[in-house]
Chains A and B, each alone.
Chain A
């Protein structure tokens, strides 16, 4: 009798063990294997073998093996995961070239969409002067706003100019991001001009640099410039010549961290403290 019970318990254990392992341990088996593989350090090359015969290791193999991280952290490519969102507002006459006749009204949206790339690519000069080594317009669109002006939106992908840190040193990591509006002084948003936008890009990158110093890695995944136009009544109270277009910038920061040590709320708090120091 006792032997029967014992064999029954053993049978249940045999049956149940794979279920427990697969359901609770199996989810991370792939990650565990990857971590173990990544920690493998190849032996030093044999000095007797000529240098040309040694296979050159891909310095980004760790990222290439992790598609979810690659677009964010690959340091030498433009990807859809890192971009600067720019906006330009044009009066209807600014849409046309000098001396050009206005087209049939049915073609205005086409004109705006077709001319948006030429209008937006110059913003890349601000990107390569601050946060990037190269920059390209990867998306543009145009729409007419309620005031009858043409609003052009563009995404400028860029190759970061700074080191992004080393995500491979993080165990059990996840991509965590936080957004913050960049502060400005006074009641009036800053003017929408080249110097202001370049300063905002530098300011956004500085926050990311601080995060990287603390957490080991950080990517400035998005900077968005939102342009607003002041009403005439607002302008009347301001000095003559005030730029009616004002800009506000927000930035998104992405880090690769162990969520048990830093979750999204924790990152948001940290970013807020850095962006708005007391």
Chain B
């Protein structure tokens, strides 16, 4: 900076002289207007399109790269919030969906539909509720008093009765039933496996045994409403989760000729018709516990009842969105189903999908059309239960059954430890105490 104002003083003098002479024109008139700045003392401003272009490219590039990495580093919930603000419509949301942004819903899980009571799972798209099917409903609870237990001798040859030509094979294939069952049943092997988990929780993870001890043996109930009157029925009731008491409800004129149970746990059936025959296959009698890839290859007696992944499963959608975890899981389901279907077709003469209703979790299932008039619900109270035979069966009200199971677990655990529970976590040893 400078305080030299001589140029301005000279300009003012010229201006005053011009006014005194009566001249009013601008001394610069007629000359090309120059582009000047206050900082260059009237030097002409030069344009630098290449330089300025490079600067803007660098700035925009930096902003773009920063934005990209910043967006990727942002927490998913914040991204979802921002996305929903900027693009609230569903189509845009779907287009931007990542596997993490596809949540399970109340009725659709990673592994298929999950329908709580009173919704009824059936082979159709229209929602069906319990009161569309049956009347005088009395759902079971975990203290319902049941009738006698009739043992089912497990099929040891993996050779289910072949359906007759006059019979129609129908099936249900699920993972978990959602109604409580008033009994516990479990084998010594299951008891040992559960207690081993309890012990290892203490000896390997430092858990508190007494407070954390889980019990084995709980079962569930599924209502199966049968309305198909087209032929005598051969029902194949299949599940992969904890054992199920399949409570049958045959509509008028329905004839259930045979029931085949296939499951990973000890299951049973209630409210059979007088002439209905029943048999059971336990997966563990023929297959080892499942490990990833173990069921990919078709083989004899591959009876683990896999369900075929459907496009609307959340797991399928996550797989489509690029999740490697779900791609592996859906691949495992697909290959497992293919192997199971091969065994099923060979054993029963129809495919595993024929006349079969599937879901992951359900409380009620309908086989056949929705009846024109609701028919009477078969309560579990007082009904005899045909049950796969095993080492331990506990019935009675919920509290006494739980107490008996806990006593059984603790007695065995005490015997296994060979002393007090504290022996699982012995005190530390100090040098001074030697």
Cβ of B434 < 8 Å from any Cβ of A? yes
Known contacts: A128-B434, A141-B200. The answer to whether A4 contacts B48 by CB under 8 A is yes
Contact between chains at B431 and A134 (CB < 8 Å): yes
B416 contacts which of A8, A15, A115, A133 (Cβ < 8 Å)? Answer: A115
Cβ of B415 < 8 Å from any Cβ of A? yes
A122 to B195, CA, bound (A): 25
Known contacts: A107-B188, A114-B416, A115-B418. The answer to whether A8 contacts B429 by CB under 8 A is no
Contact between chains at B46 and A103 (CB < 8 Å): no
Known contacts: A106-B189, A114-B418, A129-B434. The answer to whether A134 contacts B429 by CB under 8 A is yes
Cβ of B207 < 8 Å from any Cβ of A? no
Cβ of B134 < 8 Å from any Cβ of A? no
Chain A residues lying within 8 Å of B199, measured Cβ to Cβ, are 110, 113-114
Contact between chains at B192 and A106 (CB < 8 Å): yes
A113 to B424, CA, bound (A): 9
A249 to B351, CA, bound (A): 59
Cβ of B22 < 8 Å from any Cβ of A? no
A198 to B200, CA, bound (A): 28
Cβ of B419 < 8 Å from any Cβ of A? yes
Contact between chains at A124 and B429 (CB < 8 Å): yes
- Total interface residues on B, using CB and 8 Å? 36
Known contacts: A114-B413, A115-B418, A140-B204. The answer to whether A11 contacts B429 by CB under 8 A is no
Report A108-120 CB contacts with B as 1/0, cut-off 8 Å.
Answer: 0111011111100
Interface SS of chain B? helix
Chain A residues lying within 8 Å of B416, measured Cβ to Cβ, are 103, 107, 110-111, 113-115
Contact between chains at B429 and A135 (CB < 8 Å): yes
Contact between chains at B196 and A128 (CB < 8 Å): no
Known contacts: A4-B46, A129-B434. The answer to whether A134 contacts B417 by CB under 8 A is no
Excluding A8-B54, A106-B191, A107-B192, 16 further A-B contacts by CB distance (< 8 Å) are A15-B58, A78-B428, A103-B415, A110-B412, A111-B418, A113-B199, A114-B413, A114-B417, A116-B203, A117-B426, A134-B429, A134-B430, A135-B429, A136-B427, A136-B429, A139-B204
A residues with a Cβ closer than 8 A to B are 1, 4, 8, 11-12, 15, 78, 97, 100, 103-104, 106-107, 109-111, 113-118, 121, 124-125, 127-129, 132-141, 161
Q: List 26 A-B contacts (CB under 8 A).
A: A8-B55, A11-B55, A103-B415, A104-B188, A106-B188, A107-B412, A109-B192, A110-B195, A110-B196, A111-B418, A113-B199, A113-B200, A113-B416, A114-B416, A115-B418, A118-B419, A118-B426, A121-B429, A127-B429, A128-B431, A129-B434, A134-B431, A135-B428, A136-B427, A141-B203, A141-B204
6 nearest A-B pairs in the assembled complex, by CB-CB distance: A136-B428, A124-B429, A114-B416, A106-B188, A128-B431, A121-B426
